[in-house]
Amino acid sequence: MMTISNFTKDLNEYMGNAQVDLVRRAFFYAEQAHDGQFRRSGEDYVSHPLAVAEILRAMHMDHQSLVAAMLHDVIEDTGITKNDIEGQFGETVANLVDGVSKLNKIEFSTRAEAQAENFQKMALAMAKDIRVILVKMADRMHNMRTLNVMSPEQQKRIARETLEIYAPIANRLGMHNIRMEFEERGFKALYPLRAPRIDAAVKSVSGYRKELVSQVQTALEACLVREGLPGRVLGREKHLYSIYRKMKEKRLSFREITDVFAFRIITDEVDTCYRVLGAVHSLYKPVPGKFKDYIAIPKVNGYQSLHTTLFGMHGVPIEIQIRTEEMDKMASNGIAAHWLYKSSDDTPNQSHIRARQWVQDLLEMQKHAGNSLEFIEHVKTDLFPDEIYVFTPKGAILELPEGSTPVDFAYAVHTDVGNSCVACRINRRLAPLSQRLQSGQTIEIIASGSDPNPAWLGFVVTGKARSNIRHFLKNQRRSEAIALGRRLLNKTLSSFGYHLSNIPKEKIGGLLEQTDFDVLDDLLEDIGLGNRMAYIVARRLIPSTEGEELPVNQDESSMAIRGAEGMLMTFAKCCHPIPGDPIVGYISSGRGMIVHRETCNNMTEIRNDPKKYINLRWDPTVGGEFTVELRVELEHQRGIIATLANAITSAEANIEKIGTSDRDAQFSIVNLTLTVRNRVHLARVMKKVRMMKSVSKVGRMSN
């Protein structure tokens, strides 16, 4: 068992005496604070913070991280406050301890919500100081190592959360060793029956593999000696969880996975890596399309290495990773290597820079997300990336998750580029915005003053693109709801000689206070969305003496619509109103205004509800195309549908949908969905159709 004296002895290897003394003092402070508290295993509670600090010491983390590790549970489990810690150990340590404490569980209605909320808090804590997540990782690691004292249900819950959240974060921060241990321990706890079976299967095949592995390793070492290249060759064992995941995701048999032999060649410098690559390619034939250069283009978490697959002896595939000593350490420790290898004047390493950029992106997504569940939905794609690498027209490299589209690329360049993109060129050729990108392509975005298209949500994959599109649409919906709410309220007020501009501010302020809204725009938005009736709001705004005399029915003055009001005004599909039709409106909760034809059967009941019913008229300047449905009866004839379509298009109408059915042996019924400009245009279309000899009847469908 680790003691404080053993721990501080190891610290002296890389830390000054004053810093070691501070860490020792933090241990005794924690010991006193946790006095009388015990772990489930029966050990003194202080053994846990000491073990957490030991995990961080192995990463050579700085003294402030180790002090925070010693104290990470005192705020939650004892009467000590953040201010107490700040007085004893300084502001930085107090903030770290507070950040870790805030990541602890709170009660939520669902497990998913709890996990999402925890991750959201983790992102905020990481933004302030990225060491918070490293202390939390070490805390989770010790909990995983002592998981066996928990009940089976608790073990599975903690293991699932570790595999879904902590292991992907460790991977995103480039911490390979931490990720592997999380996955191995999580897999064994979550699948107590599958893990031993795969383990037994791995051991059963290791016997016959040993000789072949030894032969390949000897051949690779001899090749390096022959070429005069420095380097050591290591065999790589496949971990149980990675075997299980490959079997499940790629639908491969156990034998197919274990038939691949994996080696790592560690050498001195980058130049030698490429020379070693040439040497092993001359020893065994490379498999086409299986070479990846992560040295020239590092992975998103900072990982660097050359990957190649060879046809070995007896046609057995051999996977080889070639990297320098420094790259190997960086691959194992990721962001922790920033503290592990830095000298006092060193700049942050690539893993550290990339991690900070990722955290900034998380904050941007969080700002735009509606709630924690939406936030974690955006983040999940970023936590499980199989990257592709594409180029800007100027040759800069951008890494994106597999399956990304030009819209994802545009948002990765800049939010404004994404919001205004209208088209793209892939390798200098025009391409659809929904096309999946492939590594090595050059992408050029064509932008204009347009807005994001809601249809993009159907194909974008990056969290940044998805959250920005949703954020824009929410804002657009809000501004349209405010505009519609203002028009509805002013229309009601104008019937009695009032307008929002001449209602006293005190009256508006009083109403906002009564309705729990901060500003008038919030109230207008609620009216526009149909959640609050303009009629009732108007009654409360006008002077009480007149308000009491306000008639139940609104006056007959109608509100003009232009047809381009946006998402908060829709045209009913039951009657398809078009300019020229007498129209009325219905305020639907959450959806805004729905426009119907005056004769629509669905308006019969609502007509007597003054809170929801509103008279409308078409604005003289109304433009655009409107959907309408026609029913045509015609005689059976060869090619008659094509003739009918030609007649309609010659009248400058577009056919959106066409369906046919037989009325009897002689006549067919054709149902058409068209777009027209107005009633005059529709009359012209119907006249063209009636002129066809085979047409016996044509009429507009309704309800």
pLDDT of residue 679: 92
How far is it, in rounded angstroms, from Cα 132 to Cα 492? Answer: 56
Crossing angle of helices 406-413 and 463-494, rounded to 10°: 80
Give the position of tokens 């003053």.
Answer: 449
Average pLDDT score, the chain: 81
Is a pLDDT exceeding 60 seen at residue 342?
Answer: no
User: Can you give the pLDDT at residue 461?
Assistant: 86
N-term to C-term CA, the chain: 79
Residue 583 bridge partners (DSSP) = 597
Distance CA 155, CA 320 (A): 36
Residue 287, pLDDT above cutoff 70? yes
Which CATH number, 3.30.70.3270, 3.30.460.10, 3.30.360.10, 1.10.3720.10, labels domain 194-340? 3.30.460.10
Instruction: State residue 381's pLDDT score.
Output: 53
- What CATH number labels 626-700? 3.30.70.260
Which residues carry out catalysis? 76-77
Fold matches, 194-340 and 626-700 = no
What pLDDT is stored for residue 345 in this prediction? 43
Helix (H) or strand (E) holding 428: none
What pLDDT band is residue 105 in, cutting at 50, 70 and 90?
Answer: very low
The pLDDT score that the predictor gives to residue 225 is 93
CA separation for the pair 591, 402 (Å, rounded): 36
The pLDDT value recorded for residue 121 is 62
Q: Indicate yes or no: pTM above 0.75.
A: no
- Selection from 119-123, 206-210, 318-322, 439-443 with the highest mean pLDDT: 318-322
Chain segment 400-426, per-residue pLDDT in tens: 888 899 999 999 898 889 988 989 999
Task: Determine which of 230-234, 480-484, 594-598, 686-690 has the lowest per-residue pLDDT on average.
Answer: 480-484
What's 163's DSSP letter? I
- The pLDDT assigned to 347 comes to 53
656-702 per-position pLDDT tens digit: 889 888 877 788 899 999 999 999 999 999 999 999 988 999 999 87
Out of 217-221, 318-322, 340-344, 520-524, pick the least confident: 340-344
Delimit the domains of the chain by residue range.
4-190, 194-340, 471-618, 626-700
On the CB side of 245, CA atoms within 13 Å amount to 11
pLDDT score, position 264: 92
Tell me the average pLDDT across 447-466. 84
240 contacts: CB under 8 Å, gap ≥ 6: 184, 187, 188, 195, 198, 199, 202
**C-alpha separations of 226 from 221, 274, 406, 485 in Å:** 9, 16, 48, 81
What order of strands is seen across the sheet that includes strand 559-561? Answer: 559-561, 613-618, 583-588, 592-597, 569-571
**CA–CA separation, 137 vs 335, rounded Å?**
12
Residue 647: phi, psi to the nearest 5? -60, -40
Taking the C-alpha atoms of residue 278 and residue 266, their distance in angstroms, rounded to an integer, is: 15
Q: Which residues of 504-534 are buried (b: 16+ CB within 10 A; e: fewer)?
A: eeeeeeebeeeeebeebeebbbbbbbbbbbb
- Going by C-alpha positions, the residue among 267, 272, 323 that lies closest to residue 295 is 323
User: CA 232, CA 265: separation in Å to the nearest integer?
Assistant: 6
Structure confidence by residue, pLDDT tens digits, 617-641: 898 888 888 999 999 999 888 888 8
Q: Is 4-190 CATH 3.30.1010.10?
A: no
Q: What is the pLDDT of residue 106?
A: 38
**Across 515-612, where does the E strand assignment appear?**
559-561, 569-571, 583-588, 592-597
pLDDT in tens, 112-164: 656 556 666 666 666 667 788 888 889 999 999 998 888 888 899 889 888 88
- Give the pLDDT score at 556: 46
Strand partners, 467: none
3-state secondary structure of 615: strand
Q: Per-residue pLDDT for 498 more than 60? A: yes
CB 377 within 8 A of CB 368: no
User: Would you state the pLDDT for residue 127?
Assistant: 63
Give the up-direction half-sphere exposure of residue 539: CA atoms within 13 A in the CB hemisphere.
13
Q: Which has the higher per-residue pLDDT, 605 or 110?
A: 605
CB 79 within 8 A of CB 356: no
Q: How far apart are CA 317 and CA 532, in angstroms?
A: 68
Greater confidence (234 vs 351) lies with: 234
Classify burial at 322, counting beta carbons within 10 Å of its beta carbon; exposed 0-12, middle 13-18, buried 19 or more: buried
597: closest CA among 607, 610, 612, 608? 607
Distance between CA atoms of residues 490 and 256, nearest Å: 72
Q: At 351, is the pLDDT very low, low, confident or very high (cuts 50, 70, 90)? A: low
Rounded-to-integer distance, Cα 127 and Cα 131, Å: 10
Q: Is 185's pLDDT higher than 90?
A: yes
Q: Which two tokens stand for residue 322?
A: 């070639």
Question: How far, in Å, CA of 374 to CA of 276, rounded?
Answer: 47
Give mean pLDDT, residues 52-76: 87
